[in-house]
Amino acid sequence: MTQLALVIDLNVCVGCHACVTSCKEWNTSGEAGFMSDDNPYDRDPTGTFFNRVQTFEVGEFPDTQTVHFPKSCLHCEDPPCVPVCPTGASYKRPEDGIVLVDYDKCIGCKYCAWACPYGVRELDEHQKVMKKCTLCVDRIYDEKLPESERKPSCVLACPTNARLYGDIHDEESIVSKAIREAAGYQLMPEWGTQPANHYLPRRKTEAKLPGDVAGRTDNPLNIDGPAPVSGQAR
């Protein structure tokens, strides 16, 4: 069975929110929309999002790192949000593994949001139905689009290519190779939900800078202080 999913590389995500805004734009005007916003430019903005980026500082000073963590529905292979739905509105498609909500059947009871361990379902306060990532199901099969654009809009928008998309059950797909080669992992596997989306962990990367750049006082990697400039005492 095909299982479409996203693989997100935490090593290269820079937290720019391009995926968040492109998701909002496509899905608000696409067939799966709309996503409500109240007071978007006011003091107390609220709204529905399919995809959010959370930013954490990890480690202990001075050894800290900033980690940007994009999160949306993980299209679990064994999704607990589906069997709890009393109307059958929440379902998993057998042909590609995408988990969807049928808005015509949803009564907004929020059982699914309680069952999801990842907190990715949001009630649309205007339509009073549950919303979540659809993996841009109204885009990835759209034959009017060039084949290269038949991908979730967040994947197309990411400026660092931190988001990969494909079939994790196909061993030769770009996502399966990335999971294999960079030790991709699932979020909270202890819940037994088998999330289809995976994350690639942050890795140590070696910075190779030319000497004159490495010694500059404004270089944050220069932990030994500025390099001596010839003819000048330190």
Q: Which residues bind ligand SF4 (CB under 6 A)?
A: 73-76, 79-81, 84-85, 87, 89-90, 99, 101, 106-112, 116, 118, 120-121, 130, 132, 193
Minimum CB distance to ligand SF4, residue 75 (Å): 5
Q: Residue 71 or residue 202: which is nearer to ligand SF4 going by CB?
A: 71
Q: Residue 109 or residue 214: which is nearer to ligand SF4 going by CB?
A: 109
Q: Residue 120 or residue 168: which is nearer to ligand SF4 going by CB?
A: 120
Pairing state between β 4-9 and 198-200:
parallel
Nearest alpha-carbon partner for 23 in 44, 39, 47:
47
* 225 burial via Cβ count (<10 Å: 0-12, 13-18, 19+): exposed
110: which 2 tokens? 């929020």
218: which 2 tokens? 């404004």
Minimum CB distance to ligand SF4, residue 86 (Å): 6
Q: Residue 110 or residue 203: which is nearer to ligand SF4 going by CB?
A: 110
Minimum CB distance to ligand SF4, residue 89 (Å): 4
Minimum CB distance to ligand SF4, residue 213 (Å): 43
